[in-house]
Chain A
């Protein structure tokens, strides 16, 4: 059901109300003026904001020595050479499954976070939340607090308002530009690209990418804000399906808050021995909410669970000398238990969280094991298809292959190449002297080398045959061997 809240924003409730929807489904967007919150969760959010943005903006400048001829950037996506560098890890295109593993791991961690504390990702870590927070902070810095912003809107376009609004948008655009700028630094050597950008020498694609990301940051952080969370983001929908009644969500403890009444009425009611809730209906929880919801309506789609209403409510509770925690990370089960006079139970460890944790550990260890033991050389074979085989002057049959040898180490290596499986065959490697069985092949560091290998079968090779042939590269120093197989075809 859709009900306008204090801001006229539709509130999408997940509760079991089966009211018929009245009126139009469309509600025009309204600008929110959330008040600044102060307290525990706000401080956590500031800390996370500084850390995450610090990582985002600063990481490209972190150096990592990989030796001469190799990029010295700790985190780099080298699209031109198809390499992904992450500190000591170097991912080649054929190892992209590793990135898929990281994504699966990230999803599992997200699920675990959800099982423990609901949309904790949305409230604290999501880039949309972090940047919106930053944009709100700038807005309050320039235009004043929520009350002053309301005033300015009522005043219309006075000189002061034009000046302040312009100033705000300039600051926003600068942040947005910096955001796009930091993004492209992950795709090229950061100091070089910064110099190129400063001297207008940077490639067009860099400018273009920065512009797109800057515009998106500006729009998403400055204008769309909570609408991204409510209308655009798929995660709330998925999250709602994944959550359970034991997850700790930002919860208004109505067992304690209701019946809500003003401070005076409440005092009077209590003095007469009548029931009075702790909620004094001051609306502070709604005033600070960045998505404009009223948490007292219960768990709902609009709530990103940032905990700012907890801070606001706790401050009020402190002023009226009531215990804090009227709004807190809790769940419906515990409210019911308390109402029934039972103690609250917090079940962080339960099958769901254990399952996610086990999955995380499992995937993490498989990936780590693979990372540690993954070979640094490789071999792939491509059989010539046209022609598949050639009959030579004397009637012997010849097959040709393109063999690619990979050296993922930074140093050039001397490897031994050999072919087995066809007795009496004559092997020729174009450009490499010798008749075998071992062909010394030098492969440059962090490079591949393509060999054209030609195998001529002995006269005794049967007709209409497909004979398995094994191609191997051996590192004589490290005693490692990589093999691949293909077939030798005869007419």
Chain B
């Protein structure tokens, strides 16, 4: 280090510090010659060498069709594939157990249940949460999966089937049937719709309009709605007709909402996931939804 401060023969030496000047002078202010510390300089040189080596080792120089490949053969896509393979390998044993265990026996095995719920939660967040909400809490038009009222059945196997094939999804095995548009099609007049909507509200103990003719509403219901929703209005999971006697409402329970539903009909779509997600993931999803709390 001390050689750094050796005075140059042809330069002035600063009397105070004993360091030679570089010979540069600005307005009488002279620059002392204190070179960079060696360790710093060498670190800098090493980074240059490193950078050159890096350019040859890894993809770096852009060309017209892609980039140089680098002699290490590293590739970001293959790295992703590798990490996915590693992940699957680490899950392997439980994943296989989940795949081979019949659906109805998963929940009896604590370790498998925990694994299925974890896998199901991840798949749910990726695929289901956009419509059903992060916690499966739903929103108007998108069922709350925590509640125990199910359009297509809340047993584990029924949930599995609904995820696999969907509803009105274009899958021929999917659930079919929708709520007709009684108003738009001219089957019911607006006053009749108001009467039947009042009647429907009365079924679950909701307030009805003053002076509403519930008897007329009941008659309209029996003629038009009972074929699907049942005489007791408890719905039918075979055709996905809602149970109208509960506190759970898919679209909302206000008179206006019900009138709109009767007028325009309903036909929300649940996509089919068979073919998009592998069967083990769908099993995990079914277990996850079933164990949210509303499963039957």
Contact = CB atoms under 8 A, between A and B. Distances in A.
Interface string B102-139: 00000111100110010000000000000001111100
A345 to B, nearest CB: 47
A398 interface: yes
Interface stretch (A53-61, A299-307, A448-456): A448-456
Given A23-B17, A387-B137, A393 B117 contact: no
B146 interface: yes
A384 B38 CA distance: 60
B1 A28 contact: yes
A430 B135 contact: no
A56 B247 CA distance: 68
A430 B148 contact: no
Contact of B247 (A387, A394, A431): A394
A431 B144 CA distance: 22
B248 interface: yes
A390 B294 CA distance: 9
Interface of B: 1-2, 5, 16-19, 107-110, 113-114, 117, 133-137, 144, 146-149, 243, 246-248, 291-294
B147 A431 contact: no
B153 to A, nearest CB: 13
- Interface secondary structure of A, over-half rule: loop
12 contacts: A23-B16, A23-B17, A23-B18, A386-B134, A387-B135, A392-B248, A395-B247, A400-B293, A430-B113, A431-B109, A431-B291, A450-B114
Contacts of A442: 110
B2 A393 contact: no
Contact of A387 (B16, B18, B144, B246): B144
B146 A393 contact: no
- Interface secondary structure of B, over-half rule: loop
Contacts of A392: 147-149, 246-248, 294
Contacts of A384: 135
B291 A393 contact: no
Closest 7 CB pairs of A and B: A386-B135, A393-B246, A387-B137, A395-B247, A390-B146, A28-B1, A393-B149
A398 B247 contact: no
Contacts of B117: 452
A386 B292 CA distance: 11
Which of B113, B134, B248, B293 counts the most chain A CB atoms within 10 A? B293
Given A390-B147, A431-B113, A24 B137 contact: no
A423 interface: no
Contacts of B148: 392-393
Which of A24, A386, A393 counts the most chain B CB atoms within 10 A? A393
Given A384-B135, A390-B146, A393-B243, A454 B293 contact: yes
B17 A398 contact: no
B99 to A, nearest CB: 19
Given A394-B247, A400-B293, A449 B110 contact: yes
Interface residues of A, number: 24
Interface string A355-387: 000000000000000000000000000001111
Nearest to A454: B293
Interface string A26-40: 001100000000000
Contacts, number: 73
Interface in A392-432: 392-395, 398, 400, 428, 430-431
A391 interface: yes
B293 to A, nearest CB: 4
A393 B248 contact: yes
B2 A387 contact: no
A394 B246 contact: yes
A431 B248 contact: no
B90 to A, nearest CB: 12
Given A449-B110, A452-B291, A398 B146 contact: yes
B247 A393 contact: yes
Given A392-B147, A431-B110, 19 more contacts: A24-B19, A384-B135, A386-B137, A387-B135, A387-B136, A387-B144, A390-B144, A392-B149, A392-B247, A393-B148, A393-B247, A400-B292, A430-B107, A430-B113, A431-B108, A442-B110, A449-B110, A449-B114, A452-B117
Nearest to A22: B16
A400 B110 contact: no
A285 to B, nearest CB: 27
B247 A391 contact: yes
Contacts of A400: 146, 292-293
B251 to A, nearest CB: 15
Which of B16, B110, B133, B246 counts the most chain A CB atoms within 10 A? B110
Nearest to B14: A24
